[in-house]
Structure 1
């Protein structure tokens, strides 16, 4: 059973059928997809150095634009401690640069959250909660977050957090998945946002 099916429980059956297929992740299988981001935007210009620094960890990046090709590869794996993990590799193909937004997710079943370690090596940690809308769409929201400094993890007050909201659904008419991710901060506003569509490569 995938970590997403486990955390959603009975809600999983209410997801659109193609979303169920996307988030099953049978052992040893990967989900690969190709698409286009209709738009990618970021926060104020003064944050440019921080976003540029984030590229060293395959985390955030300063580039933005419209109609940017991208690929997704989600791979299931098992950690040394036996924990099930899903590796997320998101690659954005800008005209002059290739940028990444990678993460490693696992399940904390006792607290009913997905642990999301962002960057390689991990630079940022966020707890995620999953919901299914009445239309069968998937919604994801962030909760507690921590900054990772080597072996030290520093809890972040909400005023310094990047609050994440994700909506994903399947468009039957065109046979594509739609994704919209927004990261905001209580003081700054929008830090990072992307919205686009993609098709699975293997089903």
Structure 2
């Protein structure tokens, strides 16, 4: 049976044992179509509607064109495997900004290189990240970009220098509130932060959400 966090367990290998016990237990839980809900204290892009200009290139469910605070959100994930047996994880993030709801989706696949995962962003998977998975001293899962590329017209274009994007994500555990924490920042060397979010969440099979 596939575990909820099989893609991370496979990438981390023996280092998975260093995850916080609560995170490790949740990752080892049997997979299905899993849902989590929480609140981002900060979420979105300060570039606003300028992000729409990139839509013809990157496709839908790739960008957020709003910025807000105390933004409710949900995660819907489905763990699976490729035809060759590699672990996968499909995720949709739903940002419920006042007056509009926006989505980001991606597919993670375990790489042939230990410690790395391949992440295809957006509904069309046109942006490809190669990310390194590690465990922090506090037992959080950390993911950092090693390479990024744009996939168009059957070709793959590496994005480097001022075209590059660095993503740093940390998924931890709040011992006092008994809930997961999440913090992500995507930056470009020329314009700085282009997307960020940080907050907390709980899986729907846990206790009822505690108000912020």
Task: Provide the TM-score with structure 1 as the length reference.
Answer: 0.90
Q: Specify whether residues 78 and 190 from structure 1 end up closer, same or farther in structure 2 by C-alpha distance, changes over 3 A only.
A: same
Structure 1 match to 2:11: 7
Report if aligned partners of 1:129, 1:143 keep a CA contact under 8 Å in 2. Answer: yes
Distance 1:99 1:51 in 2: 15
Q: Following TM superposition, by how much is the alpha carbon of 1:63 offset from its aligned partner in structure 2, in angstroms?
A: 0.8
Q: Compare 174-183 and 104-113 and name the one that shifted more.
A: 104-113
Q: CA RMSD in A?
A: 2.1
- Counterparts of 1:1-203 in structure 2 under 5 Å? 2-24=6-28, 26=30, 28-44=31-47, 47-50=50-53, 56-110=59-113, 112-203=115-206
Q: Compare 156-165 and 64-73 and name the one that shifted more.
A: 156-165
Q: Compare 14-23 and 163-172 and name the one that shifted more.
A: 14-23
Structure 1 match to 2:210: none
Moved over 6 A (4+): none
Q: Following TM superposition, by how much is the alpha carbon of 1:79 offset from its aligned partner in structure 2, in angstroms?
A: 2.9
Q: Deviations over 1:26-51 (max 9, x none)?
A: 3x424321011111142446843336
Report if aligned partners of 1:52, 1:61 keep a CA contact under 8 Å in 2. Answer: no
Q: Specify whether residues 151 and 193 from structure 1 end up closer, same or farther in structure 2 by C-alpha distance, changes over 3 A only.
A: same
Aligned residue-pair number: 202
Q: Structure 1: any 5+ residue segments left out of the alignment?
A: none
